[in-house]
Structure 1
Amino acid sequence: MGGVVYQFGQYALDADRRRLSRDGQRVDVEPRALELLCLLIEHRDRAVSEVELCDKMGRGQAVSEAALSTWLRTARLAIGDSDTGQQVIRTVNPHGYRFVASASAVAGTPLAPPAAATEADHEIIRFCRSADGTRIAYALTGEGPPLVKTANWLTHLDLDRTNPMWVHWFDGLTRGRQLIRYDERGCGLSEWTVSSFTLDDLVDDLDSVVDAAGLDRFPLLGVSQGGAVAIAYAARHPERVSHLVLTSAYARGQQIRAGSDDERDAAEVDLNIARAGWRSQDSSFLRYFASQFLADATPAEWDAFAAYQRQTTSAANGLRFIEEFTRIDVSGIAHQVSCPTLIVHARDDARVPVAQALELATLIPDSRLILLESRNHLFTAADPAWPTFLSHLHTFLSE
């Protein structure tokens, strides 16, 4: 005899066994998000305050608003809901949430056993060694022609599939393709204790992943600072890269491209704010940093972004990343990229100015530039630019 199973729409939630299914197929959900969903559906007769949720979720330990916000967004995502739609979980002022979808409780009806998982359904995380012996975590997901995404800061292979910041990227990039992605050295599931963190090291990491995955020739996607790694790899290995896609990317880091005293001062201030945020974990500094990545987000979403940062790497590594990325420079080798290249950038990117996209388009011979109406450095699921980006990406890769 099973426990209580709550049925709503296409979903069934076994509260005792902490399992969610959709049309009889198991849905993978981060455990804390699933726990939150169970709490809300068990108390669906009323709004549950943030204070009560934090108390029950914390079990005597403090739970931050940012953590609660992340779990809530992950739970909504798992059941086809959203922050704006709120058809299942509604925000109730002041500071509460209520499960509002029609639900029925059935006693003694366990969930159907999950179907046998294939590698295309549930990615398998693997590991390889870079040239200097550093352990690199990578994953292959989906079926079809390959698409390799270079690592960029703020990833965690085990968390990204349910994280609101990345889950739509994951879903969009696996449409009709096998996505090969990996965590940067010092980040996520890759080795955190590393002696060297140069551009050459990052290119070696990418090389080790594509070799381990058995790839000969493939399209390469670089996002943000991952764009510089993709450019360097494509320049050094023209025989392996068929297409290059760069989004929110740059050839020169902020300190390298600063051409005046004002720009150098601005670069130093920006770096110092990021340093202060990572060292002190002060929310005001961290929100400023997050706002550069997600300009259209709310303060709560910036806090969730900051909380996610702390899950991906250590404070010491966070500082190393920031300092190294400001000094990246591939402007001298970008002209060696010989494959067709698509450059996509938000017109009002708050982190990397659109001038950097123009520079890339000038440096890379066979390139085309598309500017999208957005302020976000990382396109969000709700950003109108997101589906436009995906459309251009898939059209370009099919050529």
Structure 2
Amino acid sequence: MARSLSPHTDSSSGAQAVSAQAFRFAQLPSGARIAWTRSGAPGAPTLVRVAHWLTNVEYDLRSPIWRPWVERLSRSFGLVRYDERGCGLSGDDPRPRGLEPWVEELEAVVEAAVDATREPRVALLGVSGAAAIAIAYAVRHPERVSRLVILGGFLHGALHRCRTPEDRGFLEAQWRLVEFGWGRNDPAVREFFSSRFVPDATPEVRAGMNEQQRRSCDGPRAAEIMRARAELDVRALAPQVTVPTLVLHCDGDRAVPVELGHDIAASIPGARFESLPSANHVPLGHEPAFARFCDAVVDFVTGAGGTPRLTPRERELAGLVAQGLDNAQIAVRLGVADKTVRNALSALYAKLGVDNRARAVARSRDLGL
């Protein structure tokens, strides 16, 4: 099922941001429908923005926070965005919020996107609390994930980081404030969170953040999601990630301190970490950090430097690696000694820009080898 909306035009530039938004709905086992949309060139690699707190994919193109993201990333990717159940355009069911339901939503959206594009693999972008969901999905479905990008994420939620009863009391006070104050005709409640998540925002962006909160969901649902995010813990899963991973984090982030980004990069084998010069939770369109963020994502997901130049023999070797053959099997296929295979693989890994066999398999498959 699809629902089309008219194109959005950015009045500041006169340029059409995205040609159209056609919303589709992926159905969950409960019957709830998850709204999703894809923008960008039909043949571009797919990048899925995992649903984070406060989404309304219909409002994204009017949001001063997310509109620059959609416009820029859609130039390089087929950008898939969706609303988690009970938020934005998505339906709801009585299932409690938590890691399993959130992974279920991502599974449904990825399969729907794969069916629509015939691409067997997608890149994932996990922002803030969505980082844990993206990590869990990548561990369960490595065959579906080409690259994993984390921004402003954490492995374990705020409840696991409370050191004192006062810390927990402060968290619970915030949840109560959201539950009973979110729906009031008083922007001061929403401003409490905007000032923490985007302290360096312009008045327009701050107002957009307040509006995003109102459009995403009501107060009781927002508080429920916040509690469930605070209970997340994927510290045991992170070392099991085998797909290439890039971790980005704003160095002055007050909502999720940069040290939590360091923890992710240290826990995922071979992950790269890069800090972004910003005090906001996510880089905003007017900041230099935003351009750096977009460039880093594009370079990493598309493979900086493009397709490596491989000799015919290296292409043959990469194809055997992609099939999952071990060194002995490859040696038999090529009619060479095991030592020759080991040496050849070292040279191949360098050209592919990977540091282990699992990543070589993923990279070779990405290149269609």
Q: TM-score, normalised by structure 2?
A: 0.73
**Aligned-partner residue type, residue 292 of structure 1:** R
Confirm whether residue 78 of structure 1 aligns to residue 57 of structure 2: no
Partner of 1:321: 225
Q: State the alpha-carbon separation in 2 of the partners of residues 130 and 386 from structure 1.
A: 34
- Partner Cα separation in structure 2 for residue 302 and residue 150 of structure 1: 23
Q: Are 1:151 and 2:130 an aligned pair?
A: no
Q: In 1, are the aligned partners of 2:238 and 2:268 still within 8 Å (CA)?
A: yes
TM-score under structure 1 normalisation?
0.68
Distance 1:301 1:242, change over 3 A: closer
The secondary structure found in structure 2 opposite 1:345 is strand
Q: Secondary structure at the match of 2:254?
A: coil
Of all paired residues, the percent bearing the same amino acid is 34
Contact 2:153 / 2:249 at 8 angstroms: preserved in 1?
yes
| 1:260-283 deviation digits (Å, cap 9, x = unpaired) | 445434434444444454264543
Partner of 1:135: 33
| 1:174 aligned residue (59, 67, 74) | 74
The more displaced of 287-296 and 263-272 is 263-272
Structure with more strand by fraction: 1
State how far apart, in whole Å, the 1-side matches of 2:185 and 2:132 are: 28
- Where does the alignment leave 5 or more consecutive residues of structure 2 unmatched? 1-5, 304-369
Question: Which residue of 1 is the match for residue 279 of structure 2?
Answer: 375
Q: What is the letter of the counterpart of residue 28 of structure 1?
A: P
- For the Cα contact (< 8 Å) 1:255–1:268, is it kept in 2? no
Residue 328 to residue 291, structure 1, CA distance change in 2 (3 Å): same
Deviation at 1:301, TM superposition (A): 4.2
- SS of the equivalent of 2:142 reads coil
The code of the aligned residue for 1:322 comes to M
Q: 1:141 to 1:251 in 2, by over 3 A?
A: same
Q: Structure 2: how far apart are the matches of 1:301 and 1:390?
A: 19
Q: Distance between the aligned counterparts of 1:277 and 1:357, measured in 2?
A: 31
Report the Cα distance in structure 1 between the residues aligned to 2:196 and 2:270, rounded to whole angstroms: 30
Q: 1:187 aligns with which of 87, 109, 125?
A: 87
* Residues matched between the structures, number: 291
Contact 2:180 2:219 in 1 (8 A): no
Change (3 A) 1:260 1:294: same
Using the TM superposition, give the Cα deviation of residue 309 of structure 1 relative to its aligned residue in structure 2, in angstroms.
1.4
- Corresponding residue of 1:365: 269
Shift of 1:316: 2.0
Contact 2:129 2:153 in 1 (8 A): yes
CA distance in structure 2 between the partners assigned to 1:289 and 1:201 by the alignment: 25
1:198-347, aligned counterparts within 5 Å?
A: 198-213=98-113, 214=115, 215-261=119-165, 263-278=167-182, 280=184, 282-298=186-202, 301-347=205-251
Native 8 Å contact 1:173 1:179 kept in 2: yes
| In 2: Cα distance, 1:165 partner to 1:299 partner | 12
- Tell me if structure 2 keeps the 8 A contact 1:185–1:194: no
Note if contact 1:238-1:338 (Cα within 8 Å) is conserved in structure 2: yes
Assess if the C-alpha contact under 8 Å between 2:76 and 2:298 holds in 1: no
**Retained in 2: the 8 A contact 1:156–1:312?**
yes
* Root mean square deviation, CA, Å: 2.4
Over 3 Å counting, the alpha-carbon distance change for 1:139 and 1:230 in structure 2 is: same
**More helix, by proportion:** 2
Aligned position for 2:349: none
The answer on 1:196 being equivalent to 2:96 is: yes
Match of 1:392 among 277, 296, 313: 296
Deviates more, 1:328-337 or 1:187-196: 187-196
Query: Distance between the aligned counterparts of 2:129 and 2:11, measured in 1?
Result: 30
Instruction: Report if the CA contact (8 A) 1:131-1:205 is conserved.
Output: no
SS class of match (1:140)? strand
**Residue aligned with 1:239, SS:** helix
Report the CA distance shift for 1:185/1:126 in structure 2 as closer, same or farther (over 3 A).
Answer: same
Name the aligned partner's letter for residue 142 of structure 2.
P
Which is further off, 346-355 or 306-315? Answer: 306-315
Query: How many Å separate the matches in 2 of 1:133 and 1:329?
Result: 27
